[in-house]
């Protein structure tokens, strides 16, 4: 047992040094985050949003609130009430606040204004990282990850249930109106609670969910009808499209073919009869040639009729399959969530579903997220072209901001000027220096393989299958990619390219580049579930999490230091 103890004096006048800058060491990362946001980022959009509130008492500095949220998200804290508590008890948060104590409502309102400002902040942080020398664009990777929404799976309702809830709501409102009329007469009834008219009420969310389901169904029907109309118009113009036709166009195109074949045969027989009549009027005998058959005896017309019969049979079979599928369906079918109608049931790795969104990120070889988008699509394939377009725009920003190599000549011939040369194919009409895009099989399609843009490697199967095919050079298609051969498909060419040593070696980088940022955001930052509801706010929050990832990456990589910031010019 110790013979004596250090005294515990809780009446000491100063528990902390009077100078706040002595509370934490100079190399604590919080000073870097404060300095970056206050001195090196354009936060005018956040200031404009705060000024939009009108006259009143002096508000909290938006730069301070932004720094509080940045530090909180970097340390696994997203609850506004928890952030308020830390602003009172945690030294780093108290240093950021500088004596202010924002409450949770202030923090929540500030975060709710993110949708109008976060996109610009993402670009600002990207420019800063580029000026620090980050953003290796030779190889980038595109990947999606599922993020849980601030909603429960049990809050999903099918269209029939939503319709019933909406009808019950209308009936309840009518009954409430009748009761109020009987109670109040002509009085105003101003004592009705504020929540009764709030746009966040359950009634409005039921209406929004039902409208979303109906809009999606209408959009799908319109898309199918438009695709069918394209095929029908092409057939009417005499140039039918090759390939499989939509169900709605198959029968109509076959009818057009039968009508055209019948009309052609009738015209042929009519022309023959007209020639015979002319010869008879001239006193000549029958000419050479056989009399054309009637439409009912023509082989061409019979084949067209057979095609129509086949199309009708296929349409009938498709309708029967759809009816059987609807009858045997186990679940409720398309549904919407009452808590967050914009979120969807997302399949996750290992089986099962979460209520959430599908986030798309493009990441550089040094771990910088240069493009991000939060989507409500369960699949990835439709997002390859939009995301690579965003990435090329970001790459152009990075190329314009990155410092030149130390030995590169300046504009006047001296060292230190100009920009590093672009590498790789930048795509049509873009200046982005992306050399190669890596993506998994979720993005595989002929359109994504052949669209304009940088060179790409898109997996044609699971990674283990690609490795197995690359180890066996005797498998079919293991030679050079047949891209230049007539009739070679883009998917076959990609499969062959991934069997080559260079192709599989390049694709092996995808997992580390693409999935490491997602692991950092979900594991190290603890960001597995969104706090904000509705796609605009959820998108802004996910983008903010990616911003914090980039800032954290700049600090942990050693690029973002006090000395580095001293060498950067402060933006105007």
Question: Using one digit for the tens of pLDDT, what is the confidence trace for 42-67?
Answer: 999 998 876 544 556 678 899 999 99
Largest CA distance in the chain: 144
- Report the relative pairing of strands 353-364 and 344-347 from DSSP bridges: antiparallel
Q: Quote the pLDDT of residue 54.
A: 52
The yes-or-no verdict on residue 143 having pLDDT over 60 is yes
Q: Quote the pLDDT of residue 154.
A: 75
Q: Which of 154-168, 347-361, 441-455 has the lowest mean pLDDT?
A: 154-168
Helices (H) and strands (E) in the chain, counts: 19, 8
Q: Once rounded to an integer, what is the mean pLDDT over residues 434-444?
A: 94
Residue found by looking up tokens 């693409």 in the block: 514
The yes-or-no verdict on residue 356 having pLDDT over 80 is yes
Q: 237-263 pLDDT, tens per residue?
A: 776 766 666 666 777 777 888 888 888
Q: Quote the pLDDT of residue 412.
A: 39
Check residues 331 and 73 and name the one with the higher pLDDT: 73
Tokens of 150: 């601030």
**Cα separation, 78 vs 74, whole angstroms:** 9
Check residues 165 and 370 and name the one with the higher pLDDT: 370
Q: Quote the pLDDT of residue 441.
A: 93
Q: Which of 54-58, 193-197, 263-267, 511-515 has the lowest mean pLDDT?
A: 193-197
**Cα separation, 339 vs 316, whole angstroms:** 40
C-alpha dihedral, 229 to 232 to 234 to 239, nearest 10° = 160
CA 33 to chain centre: 28
Please choose, from the candidates 355, 384, 353, the residue with its C-alpha nearest in 3D space to the C-alpha of residue 533: 355
Q: Quote the pLDDT of residue 191.
A: 44
Q: Once rounded to an integer, what is the mean pLDDT over residues 374-389?
A: 94
Q: Quote the pLDDT of residue 295.
A: 75
Q: Quote the pLDDT of residue 406.
A: 59
Q: Indicate the helix (H) or strand (E) that contains 347.
A: strand 344-347
Looking at residue 529, the DSSP 8-state letter turns out to be B
The yes-or-no verdict on residue 292 having pLDDT over 90 is no
What pLDDT band is residue 127 in, cutting at 50, 70 and 90? very high
Q: 513-564 pLDDT, tens per residue?
A: 999 999 999 999 999 999 998 899 999 999 999 999 999 999 999 999 989 9
% of the chain surpassing 70 pLDDT:
71
What pLDDT band is residue 181 in, cutting at 50, 70 and 90? low
Q: Once rounded to an integer, what is the mean pLDDT over residues 395-401?
A: 90
The yes-or-no verdict on residue 325 having pLDDT over 80 is no
CB 344 within 8 A of CB 357: yes
CB 555 within 8 A of CB 29: yes
Provide CB contacts within 8 A for 206, sequence distance 6+: 162, 165, 166, 169, 338
Q: Quote the pLDDT of residue 419.
A: 38
Q: Quote the pLDDT of residue 168.
A: 55
Q: What is the 3-state secondary structure (H, E, C) of 315-336?
A: HHHHHHHHHHHHHHCCCCCCEE
Q: What is the 3-state secondary structure (H, E, C) of 500-519?
A: CHHHHHHHCCHHHHHHHHHH
Q: Quote the pLDDT of residue 243.
A: 61
Tokens of 156: 């999903």
CA 536 to chain centre: 12
**Cα separation, 122 vs 551, whole angstroms:** 10
**Cα separation, 369 vs 377, whole angstroms:** 20
The yes-or-no verdict on residue 192 having pLDDT over 50 is no
**Cα separation, 407 vs 217, whole angstroms:** 60
**Considering the chain, what is the average pLDDT of its residues?**
79
The yes-or-no verdict on residue 139 having pLDDT over 60 is yes
Looking at residue 522, the DSSP 8-state letter turns out to be I
Best-predicted range by mean pLDDT (41-50, 272-281, 408-417): 41-50
In the chain, where the domains are located? 20-132+560-566, 139-149+342-524, 157-183+199-338
Q: What is the 3-state secondary structure (H, E, C) of 1-51?
A: CCCCCCCCCCCCCCCCCCCHHHCCCCCCHHHHHHHHHHHCCCCHHHHHHHH
Q: Quote the pLDDT of residue 70.
A: 95
Check residues 176 and 559 and name the one with the higher pLDDT: 559
Best-predicted range by mean pLDDT (119-123, 173-177, 281-285, 483-487): 119-123
CB 508 within 8 A of CB 119: no
Q: Once rounded to an integer, what is the mean pLDDT over residues 334-343?
A: 81
Q: Quote the pLDDT of residue 478.
A: 42
Q: Quote the pLDDT of residue 429.
A: 37
Q: 443-465 pLDDT, tens per residue?
A: 999 999 999 999 999 999 998 99
Q: Indicate the helix (H) or strand (E) that contains 495.
A: helix 490-498
**Cα separation, 512 vs 170, whole angstroms:** 53
Provide CB contacts within 8 A for 106, sequence distance 6+: 60, 65
Q: Quote the pLDDT of residue 382.
A: 94
């Amino acid at each position: 047992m110790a013979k004596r103890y250090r005294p515990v004096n809780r009446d000491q006048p100063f528990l902390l040094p009077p100078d706040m800058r002595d509370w934490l060491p100079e190399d604590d990362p919080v000073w870097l985050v404060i300095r970056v946001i206050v001195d090196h980022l354009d936060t005018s959009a956040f200031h404009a949003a705060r000024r939009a509130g009108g006259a009143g008492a002096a508000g909290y500095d938006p730069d301070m609130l932004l720094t509080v949220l940045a530090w909180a998200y970097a340390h696994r804290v997203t609850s506004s009430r928890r952030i308020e508590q830390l602003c009172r008890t945690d030294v780093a948060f108290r240093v950021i606040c500088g004596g202010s104590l924002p409450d949770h409502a202030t923090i929540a309102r500030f975060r709710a204004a993110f949708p109008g400002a976060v996109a610009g902040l993402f670009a600002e942080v990207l420019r800063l990282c580029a000026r620090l020398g980050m953003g290796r664009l030779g190889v980038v990777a595109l990947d999606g990850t599922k993020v849980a929404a601030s909603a429960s799976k049990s809050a999903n309702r099918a269209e029939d249930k939503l319709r019933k809830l909406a009808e019950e709501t209308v009936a309840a409102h009518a009954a409430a109106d009748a009761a109020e009329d009987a109670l109040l007469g002509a009085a105003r009834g101003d004592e009705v609670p504020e929540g009764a008219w709030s746009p966040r009420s359950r009634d409005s969310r039921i209406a929004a969910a039902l409208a979303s389901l109906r809009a999606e169904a209408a959009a799908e029907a319109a898309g199918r009808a438009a695709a069918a109309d394209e095929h029908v118009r092409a057939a009417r113009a005499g140039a039918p499209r090759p390939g499989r036709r939509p169900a709605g166009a198959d029968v109509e195109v076959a009818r057009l073919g039968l009508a055209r074949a019948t009309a052609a045969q009738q015209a042929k027989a009519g022309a023959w009869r007209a020639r015979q009549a002319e010869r008879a009027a001239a006193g000549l005998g029958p000419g050479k040639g056989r009399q054309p058959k009637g439409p009912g005896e023509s082989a061409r017309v019979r084949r067209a009729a057979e095609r129509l019969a086949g199309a009708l049979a296929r349409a009938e079979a498709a309708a029967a399959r759809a009816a059987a599928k609807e009858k045997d369906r186990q679940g409720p079918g398309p549904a919407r969530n009452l808590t967050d109608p914009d979120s969807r049931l997302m399949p996750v790795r290992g089986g099962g579903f979460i209520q959430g969104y599908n986030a798309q990120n493009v990441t550089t070889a040094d771990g910088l997220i240069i493009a991000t988008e939060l989507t409500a699509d369960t699949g990835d394939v439709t997002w390859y072209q939009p995301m690579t377009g965003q990435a090329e725009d970001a790459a152009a920003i990075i190329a314009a901001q990155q410092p030149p190599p130390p030995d590169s000549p300046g504009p006047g011939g001296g060292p230190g000027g100009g920009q590093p040369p672009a590498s790789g194919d930048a795509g049509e009409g873009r200046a982005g220096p992306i050399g190669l895009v890596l993506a998994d099989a979720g993005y595989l399609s002929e359109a994504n393989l052949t669209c304009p843009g940088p060179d790409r490697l898109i997996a044609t199967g699971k990674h283990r299958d690609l490795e197995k095919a690359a180890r066996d050079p005797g498998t079919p298609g293991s030679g050079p990619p047949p891209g230049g051969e007539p009739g070679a498909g883009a998917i076959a060419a990609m499969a062959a390219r991934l069997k080559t040593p260079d192709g599989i070696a390049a694709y092996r980088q995808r997992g580390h580049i693409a999935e490491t940022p997602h692991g950092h955001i979900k594991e190290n930052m603890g960001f597995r579930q969104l706090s904000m509801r509705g796609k605009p706010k959820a998108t802004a929050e996910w983008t903010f999490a990616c911003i914090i990832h980039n800032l954290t990456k700049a600090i942990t990589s050693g690029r973002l230091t006090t000395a580095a910031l001293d060498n950067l010019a402060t933006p105007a």
